[in-house]
Amino acid sequence: MKAVAVQAFGGPEGLAVVDLPDPSPAGGQVLITTEAIGVGGVDVLIRSGALAAYGFEAGHVLGGEIAGTVTAVGDGVDPAWTGQRVWAFAGTGGGYAEQAVVPAATLVALPPDVSPVDAVTLGSSGTVARFALRHARFAPGESVLVRGAAGGIGIVAVQLAARGGAGVIAVTTSSAERGDRLRELGATHVVGRDGGGAGDYDVILDVVAGPDLPAFFGRLNPNGRLVAVGAVAGDPPADFGTALFAAFRKSLSFATFSADTVPAADRRAAVAELLAGDVRAVVHEVLPLEQAAAAHRKLDAGEVFGRIVLTTPEFSGARGTAGA
């Protein structure tokens, strides 16, 4: 089978199309013939070497989120999955491939009218957005800032905040055009990356972190909550702890959130609900698997709004009432 592996950590040129033996599922796993593969921010971090501490080795096949058809099941897995079209989560790798093995515990049946491309656009990012807002104890009527809203997580967070009855939904973005698109999805205020302009918030959902995190934390209303889910701008400054402590006069809360801590059944339920619901999947571009390096170049250039999705020759779109 064809796969895309990191031959050298660093730039996108380190990604190579390779021929690998077809994998086979171990106990608790299934084998999937992939149709669509989501290209995530974490793939970029792994490829760049930023996550070297986690022990990724040359030859690592990227890709955590896939959709396709189950073609074999390992020991202990219900054989009824065989032949089903599914969304699945491969974890930190194995997805940029024509065949992938994934834990059966992650499988969600693909509704017949949902395209695999939309599924991998919404599934993982949407799960993070949904549980992060819950972690922030977001309530109707509250004001929300989504920092780094133009990415997969932020785009869903804006839509969920709107559906959840947020009073104000502010977004940070570097681009006026993206701001307009975020307004179409439910944002009520668009601010620059520095968060400048009026406004304090009850909830901040932050995928950016980096040097400006303390300043954003200071923009919370009394009893406000900031939940950090990503760090596209790197770690916060070393003295962030000082800002946290100084916040006690406003009873502010800082929390981190990782979808890895969500029980598998809750995660499946959230993905299934997202796929069946009306949250819009924003697909930046669909490219063939072989062009994974081009996808990474676009992400590195910061030109992506929503998700880039890779497809294999098996990709055939949705099969439902609108179907093929």
Question: Site residues (CB under 6 A) for ligand NAP?
Answer: 40-42, 45, 125, 128, 148, 150-154, 172-175, 178, 193, 207-208, 210, 229-233, 257-259, 302
Closest contact distance (angstroms) between CB of 302 and ligand NAP is 5
Closest contact distance (angstroms) between CB of 134 and ligand NAP is 13
SS3 155: helix
* Structural contact between residues 30 and 74, judged by C-beta atoms closer than 8 angstroms: yes
Residue 5 vs 182, nearer CB to ligand NAP:
182
Closest contact distance (angstroms) between CB of 282 and ligand NAP is 11
Residue 42 vs 310, nearer CB to ligand NAP:
42
Residue 140 vs 196, nearer CB to ligand NAP:
196
Residue 233 vs 244, nearer CB to ligand NAP:
233
Give CA–CA dist 297/278, Å, rounded.
31
Distances from the Cα of 133 to the Cαs of 205, 229, 255, 288, in angstroms? 7, 10, 11, 33
Residue 101 vs 158, nearer CB to ligand NAP:
158
H helix runs in 91-238, sequence order: 116-135, 152-163, 176-185, 213-217
Which residue bears the tokens 């895309």? 4
Distance of CA 37 to the CA centre of its chain: 12
Give the phi and the psi of residue 12 in degrees, each rounded to 5.
Answer: -60, -25
Closest contact distance (angstroms) between CB of 13 and ligand NAP is 20
Residue 229 vs 292, nearer CB to ligand NAP:
229
Give the phi and the psi of residue 91 in degrees, each rounded to 5.
Answer: 85, -130
Residue 153 vs 247, nearer CB to ligand NAP:
153
Closest contact distance (angstroms) between CB of 129 and ligand NAP is 8
Distances from the Cα of 187 to the Cαs of 78, 127, 257, 323, in angstroms? 43, 19, 23, 32
Residue 136 vs 207, nearer CB to ligand NAP:
207
Give the phi and the psi of residue 17 in degrees, each rounded to 5.
Answer: -80, 125
- Show the tokens assigned to 52: 């070297």
Closest contact distance (angstroms) between CB of 132 and ligand NAP is 7
Distances from the Cα of 274 to the Cαs of 85, 146, 183, 267, 278, in angstroms? 16, 19, 20, 11, 7
Closest contact distance (angstroms) between CB of 306 and ligand NAP is 9
Closest contact distance (angstroms) between CB of 106 and ligand NAP is 14
Residue 77 vs 229, nearer CB to ligand NAP:
229
Give CA–CA dist 212/92, Å, rounded.
28
Closest contact distance (angstroms) between CB of 147 and ligand NAP is 7
Give CA–CA dist 311/252, Å, rounded.
44
Distances from the Cα of 75 to the Cαs of 23, 26, 83, 88, in angstroms? 15, 7, 17, 18
